[in-house]
Structure 1
């Protein structure tokens, strides 16, 4: 009895030691991980859109959870959507983790929306052989091209009085020259040439809002606000070295370790005051895009969204033409819903979308109600024009070869449908009494005048002015009620 009790005690002791050892190992691992100083690296390569914004915000959340000292965003972008850019900037400005935006590798750019992001970052850095600028906003909704590309609008008396400008309006031919970016300290102190303010009220609103926004970002981090305004009004650009000389950026670094070494000890402005960076000997930890980001990026690609809309539209057509097929309808509704989601977050020109829908409707009308090509040709023309107009943003437009390919497929389908209808017109009748004319029958008994024949497996009354023999092959040449008129079928020997 004593031996089993001793054995039980030994097993309990071993289990206790094992649990304590495992707990100590887990605590040591958590403490070591917590004590590790890391910098989270995320990569943005391409147009700024909803997928990139979602990825960036989740990267900042991961860095905060990880207790990272810094977030380094490697960026190469031609620009993107204003809404997505502002979401990223708002998240960055309120983040407890400093964000260093690093335009790299060599040959990269921070154009348009990328310039705003660079100005909003706590540390703005660029690699050699990179550039930034061209931050002029492009209006969405068919409002025109770049604000101020035409001749500058003459200021009205009210606007001149508000600005305190007592000089005569600038000459239109000379109005294209804005205040030089080098005169940083004299802005507002002396009279300047007229600045580009847009040709319409909407353009002025968009342009002035963008100028105020980027100047506020520049002033927050002590960067060159005058050049930022010139980048918006005049779409000017700077190389990395020029940007460093003009206080547009903070650092020109060869790579991320060089960047971390240069910004160690730098003070940055956070949401709740200044903070001194301690970036020496940080461990780099990459936060790469996951499947969700990749999927959103694919769906919101304008070419993919456009193609999904086409597939969805034709899927519904095939389902309605053949009720009960299920497969075309299922695929069509899924693709159409994905396309509508993508268009919800893309800069859609609704006039272009309406032209596409009208064009598709005309093509379907040609298939259901042939008009010898009038509806079909009009539909293809409307479809192509609408496709070209569909996306307003310069960096999110649809590939012209894709538009041409889809238009050719639609034209080919319409041509095939027309030829099929023309062929059906020439084919003999296949149903009703008229279908019996020309058919072959067999004589059931000898007769001349009235008799009987077997036609399509049925016994029919027959009439023939010529004498016919039992089993002879005859051809139906007419029909009168339930009596068919036949004649001998002469076969070639």
Structure 2
């Protein structure tokens, strides 16, 4: 009995040793993952939607941390505030990480970095320049330091512009300062970044307590965050102790819909889609029945309008573009020999320049694209004007007079008269010369319902004088 117990103990010990790696692997697999979301380029509605979706997925899959890896020149205020609100309400802690080396978190990116539970930067990166820029109508200060207003009656508009600029700066300053106070970071520098557009390099930002740490890469970031306690912003949340040293990193790729919307919301592409839409519909109206140009034009125009309603558009620019396209259509239907077309080209060019404020990072329209589209429109106008000139040069004909010069085929002839086929119709003809069936003749005069014809001169094409 004692020997049997001894062997049973030995077997139990061996079984425990054999199962130890499996148990360890189960513990390792139970460590919640870390989600990595990339923010690159201008921050717009598509970016905000993608970040929101990623944070929701992280909460559903019980991730322990979401890392927002940023390289952005800034973007739209509404999109930035949507992302900040999602970060503050996220049940999963969020770490903002400016990477890789050479990246930046300028303008709107600075607000996102301040909103995150952890702010980190890679070496040779920078943040700052958070002064708000005016979007929409040009010449309203653009968020820059207001200049001294002129004296006299003209000072009222300038004072209004300065007041609006000051309101934007004060609002942005208070917003960024509140985020700094929430996360325990340098609020004084936050206000300076808004009012003076200053920037900081990674090491300087760490020394001035603008960020929490500097990490060479994502692995180094997770190693430094291991064991740190963070409190999410959701109601009733408790502090979460991170275990990121050996955690699985799940890179969240943008879904096809977000990528498509991100591409469509590019201002340059929106302008191209608008032109395709207008020209497609115009071609369909001029040539009913083709169908394809109308379908393509309608879809392109709707996509362009969707993209524009998501951008900080200048309504004066939109009005000028639509006026220019209307002039193009008028030139096609009511030829003015280039007058309407020239006005349309001018209106379109100025409208494209004013459509998007080029000071908004990542949302300007390249001048080269505007030049190309303007030249295409000018070529269209020149083509329509040339066709109008040619039509004007042709003699106007109506009724039987349009038959003069037409080519006919003799069906039967005798005694100076007979019948011929003109445009698929039988006509009575007379001629001073003998004709034979099948011979090509040309109409020289129309008298009542009788056509006077003559042989087609040798070397002349029978199709040249077909009625228009």
TM-score, normalization: structure 1?
Answer: 0.77
Q: Does 1:70 align with 2:65?
A: yes
Q: Which of residues 139, 144, 151 in structure 1 aligns to 2:147? A: 151
Match of 1:286 in 2: 251
- Number of matched pairs: 415
Q: Which of residues 329, 346, 353 in structure 2 aligns to 1:388? A: 353
How do residues 307-346 of structure 1 correspond to structure 2 at under 5 angstroms? 307-346=272-311
Q: CA deviation at 1:138?
A: 1.0
Q: Which of residues 324, 329, 341 in structure 2 aligns to 1:364? A: 329
Q: Does 1:235 align with 2:197?
A: yes
> Quick one: distance in 1 between partners of 2:427 and 2:54?
84
Q: Once structures 1 and 2 are overlaid, which stretch shifts more, 198-207 or 433-442? A: 433-442
User: CA 1:252/1:433 → structure 2, altered by over 3 Å: closer, same or farther?
Assistant: same
User: CA 1:217/1:489 → structure 2, altered by over 3 Å: closer, same or farther?
Assistant: closer
Q: Does 1:379 align with 2:344?
A: yes
> Quick one: distance in 2 between partners of 1:333 and 1:439?
41
Q: CA deviation at 1:484?
A: 4.3
Q: Once structures 1 and 2 are overlaid, which stretch shifts more, 326-335 or 210-219? A: 326-335
Aligned-partner SS, 1:200? helix
Kindly provide the CA deviation profile for residues 252-285 of structure 1, in whole angstroms up to 9, marking residues without a partner as x. 1101121122233334453246554443322212
> Quick one: distance in 1 between partners of 2:134 and 2:353?
16
Q: CA deviation at 1:399?
A: 2.1
Q: Does 1:254 align with 2:216?
A: yes
Match of 1:112 in 2: 107
Q: Is the 8 A contact 2:42 2:361 kept in 1?
A: no
Match of 1:177 in 2: none
> Quick one: distance in 1 between partners of 2:382 and 2:269?
26
User: CA 1:487/1:107 → structure 2, altered by over 3 Å: closer, same or farther?
Assistant: closer
Q: CA deviation at 1:339?
A: 1.5
Q: Is the 8 A contact 1:198 1:207 kept in 2?
A: no
Q: Does 1:416 align with 2:412?
A: no
How do residues 98-137 of structure 1 correspond to structure 2 at under 5 angstroms? 98-137=93-132
Q: Does 1:213 align with 2:175?
A: yes
User: CA 1:461/1:93 → structure 2, altered by over 3 Å: closer, same or farther?
Assistant: closer
Q: CA deviation at 1:329?
A: 1.8
Q: CA deviation at 1:485?
A: 4.8
User: CA 1:477/1:391 → structure 2, altered by over 3 Å: closer, same or farther?
Assistant: same
Kindly provide the CA deviation profile for residues 287-334 of structure 1, in whole angstroms up to 9, marking residues without a partner as x. 121212211111111122222211121222122223333222222222
User: CA 1:198/1:257 → structure 2, altered by over 3 Å: closer, same or farther?
Assistant: farther
Q: Is the 8 A contact 1:100 1:124 kept in 2?
A: yes
Match of 1:172 in 2: none
Q: Does 1:460 align with 2:421?
A: no
Q: Is the 8 A contact 1:152 1:199 kept in 2?
A: no
Match of 2:20 in 1: none
Kindly provide the CA deviation profile for residues 428-466 of structure 1, in whole angstroms up to 9, marking residues without a partner as x. 6687422333456769334xxxx42444364536475xx
Q: Once structures 1 and 2 are overlaid, which stretch shifts more, 344-353 or 269-278? A: 269-278
> Quick one: distance in 1 between partners of 2:453 and 2:328?
46
Aligned-partner SS, 2:387? helix
Q: Is the 8 A contact 1:139 1:145 kept in 2?
A: yes
Q: Which of residues 47, 54, 63 in structure 2 aligns to 1:59? A: 54
User: CA 1:269/1:229 → structure 2, altered by over 3 Å: closer, same or farther?
Assistant: farther
Q: Does 1:444 align with 2:413?
A: yes
Kindly provide the CA deviation profile for residues 110-167 of structure 1, in whole angstroms up to 9, marking residues without a partner as x. 000000001111000000000011111112221535323442579xxxxxxxxxxxxx
Match of 1:300 in 2: 265
> Quick one: distance in 2 between partners of 1:433 and 1:440?
14
Q: Does 1:226 align with 2:195?
A: no
Match of 2:18 in 1: none
RMSD: 2.8
Kindly provide the CA deviation profile for residues 164-221 of structure 1, in whole angstroms up to 9, marking residues without a partner as x. xxxxxxxxxxxxxxxxxxxxxxxxxxxxxxxxx9952222221111011000000011
Kindly provide the CA deviation profile for residues 14-64 of structure 1, in whole angstroms up to 9, marking residues without a partner as x. xxxxxxxxxxxxxx9xx7797233211111111111111111111111211
User: CA 1:459/1:121 → structure 2, altered by over 3 Å: closer, same or farther?
Assistant: closer
* Runs of at least 5 residues in structure 2 that lack an aligned partner in the other structure: 1-22, 151-158, 460-468
Q: Is the 8 A contact 2:134 2:142 kept in 1?
A: yes
Q: Does 1:41 align with 2:36?
A: yes
User: CA 1:409/1:335 → structure 2, altered by over 3 Å: closer, same or farther?
Assistant: same
> Quick one: distance in 1 between partners of 2:215 and 2:455?
100
Match of 2:87 in 1: 92
TM-score, normalization: structure 2?
Answer: 0.81
